[in-house]
Structure 1
Amino acid sequence: MNKRIIGLVLLVVGVALAWWGYQESQTLSKTVESQLTGELDSRTMTFYIAGAVCIVLGLVGVLRR
């Protein structure tokens, strides 16, 4: 039961981090910078990667028996 709770918490944190990264990438300065350089900011990528890792770990924790 504890693993499922931890998995659920990781899932929620992962979704929040991914959403935060998306919001960060949609600011005017980040949009202009992204258009000029063709790359995302390292901070934005950190949010995306950390969010994805937490989502995967959370899914494993929730779906594992």
Structure 2
Amino acid sequence: MNNKIIGIVLVVGGVALALWGYNIYDSASAQIGRALNGDTPIEAWAGMVGGVISVLVGITKLK
């Protein structure tokens, strides 16, 4: 029972974190930065990758 609650929290938090990372990636300042020098903000990558990892760990806890 306790693992299922942790799994649900990880899945919901991971989805929110991945969406936050994508919003940073898609922001106007990030688009200008990518156009000028090709750099992507590290916060965007950290949010998206961290969110996906959190979702995967949460799914394994739900099983």
Q: Give structure 1 regions of 4+ aligned residues with deviation exceeding 6 angstroms.
A: none
TM-score in terms of structure 1 length: 0.86
The match for 1:7 is 7
CA RMSD of aligned residues (A): 1.1
Aligned residues: 63
After TM superposition, the score normalised by the length of structure 2 is 0.88
In structure 2, what is the Cα distance between the partners aligned to 1:2 and 1:17? 22
Where does structure 1 lack aligned partners over 5 or more consecutive residues?
A: none
Give the distance between the partners of 1:60 and 1:39, measured in 2 at CA.
33
Structure 2 unpaired stretches of 5+: none
Percent identity of the aligned residues? 33
